[in-house]
Amino acid sequence: MRRRVLILGSTGSIGTQALEVIRARPERFEVVGLSASSNAALLRRQVEEFAPRYAALESGEAGSLAGLGAEVLSGPGATALLAAVPADVVLNAVVGFAGLAATVSALRAGNRLALANKESVVAGGEWVMELARKSALIPVDSEHSALFQCLEGRRREEVDGLLLTASGGPFFDLDASRLAGVGPEDALRHPTWRMGAKITVDSATMMNKGLEVIEAHHLFGVPYERIRVAVHRQSAVHGGVLFTDGSAILHAAPTDMRLPIAYALLYPERLPLARPLPFAGERWTFEEPRNDLFRCLPLAVAAGRAGGPYPAALNAANEVAVRAFLDRRIKFLQIPEIVEEVLEVVPDFGPLRDLEAVEAVDRWAREEAGRRVRARA
């Protein structure tokens, strides 16, 4: 039976790779809906090829989608509306905090969620996880997919901790003086992965790994002090589980996001998409993170431990700072500076028990971060 799929953020890096999986095995999938933020031209081509029943565009020329046979949803909130359409699985590949509303919509509708939007869990925290426990959530990030697979069939009392690996990005060997002069074109030269611009910069600052620590804490219920991060430059091992008897199970796979995407779309089945790692002749190394220089990782862990509004504020401030860096309005080392300054002045927002409460934190933090960007421009 073909699996009915909604792809949110179909024109981005994860979305286009998901469509590569579907294109390779069309007999296994039926594309029910596709959504994009603003890339109407690419969305039109995707609708022409995959013939979904629905197409959603948050902004841009929705009229360009007319006449293709799909029901068009347009305007702010269109993606969240699409997420509630009945489907076997919803892939949320929206970038950043913008994906939270779609995550909430999919879970409330009872759809199985393949989640590539880590910001949903980072910002929404326990409130989002409560919704997830009433439905089903399969992580798509390579690290969390690795942990999910390593934990299957394991008793929680056997688990001592989790291991998340980081590539180290393109700057891991640089000192502060050289980091001060790097530009967006340098940060976007990731040594092992093919990803979108925002997540590639997050990899360079180590913020991506910090967000993943928060996400792992919520997804798997493991305390922060039992989540370890190791820099593994070969990007062969994506994560692992440490057990109480001193043993560990590590998940290794090629650096190909199609693997965790396909696993989440067809769970618990697997598709033959890539050749296994050769192993013979391979040399794997694991190093401690350089938290003194790449301060986004410890900032994120501290925000996660603090809980409440801090993870949402962290995420919002980082999104603003990364955008400013990509636009050449601030320097690379000013990203953690801005994030830290925002975290130092977070007010009491009370309990975050719904989307509106989390959005209020996000708006506040974006305004605070924006002021700090303008002060440095």
pLDDT at 195 over 80: no
165: closest CA among 139, 135, 144? 144
Listed in order, the ranges of the chain carrying CATH 3.40.50.720 are 3-139
Averaged pLDDT for residues 225-235: 97
Chain mean pLDDT for the chain:
96
Class at the top of the CATH hierarchy for domain 3-139: alpha beta
284 Cβ neighbours under 8 A, 6+ residues apart: 232, 234, 236, 237
CATH code for the structural domain at 308-377: 1.10.1740.10
| 119-133 mean pLDDT | 95
Instruction: State the average pLDDT over residues 202-231.
Output: 97
The answer to whether the beta carbons of residues 203 and 195 sit under 8 Å apart is yes
Q: What is the pLDDT of residues 252-304, one digit of tens each?
A: 999 999 999 999 999 999 999 989 899 988 899 999 999 999 999 999 999 99
Q: Which helix (H) or strand (E) holds 129?
A: helix 118-133
Q: What is the pLDDT of residues 196-207, one digit of tens each?
A: 889 899 999 999
What pLDDT score was predicted for residue 377?
Answer: 78
CB 109 within 8 A of CB 87: no
What pLDDT does residue 81 have?
Answer: 98
> Could you give the CA distance from residue 10 to residue 94 in angstroms, rounded to a whole number?
8
Question: Which residue ranges does the chain devote to CATH 1.10.1740.10?
Answer: 308-377
pLDDT the model gives residue 350: 94
pLDDT tens-digit profile of 50-89? 999 999 999 988 889 999 999 999 999 999 999 999 999 9
Position 118 pLDDT exceeds 90: yes
**Of the listed ranges 39-43, 190-194, 298-302, 342-346, the one predicted with least confidence:** 190-194
Beta strands 237-243 and 159-166: pairing type?
A: antiparallel
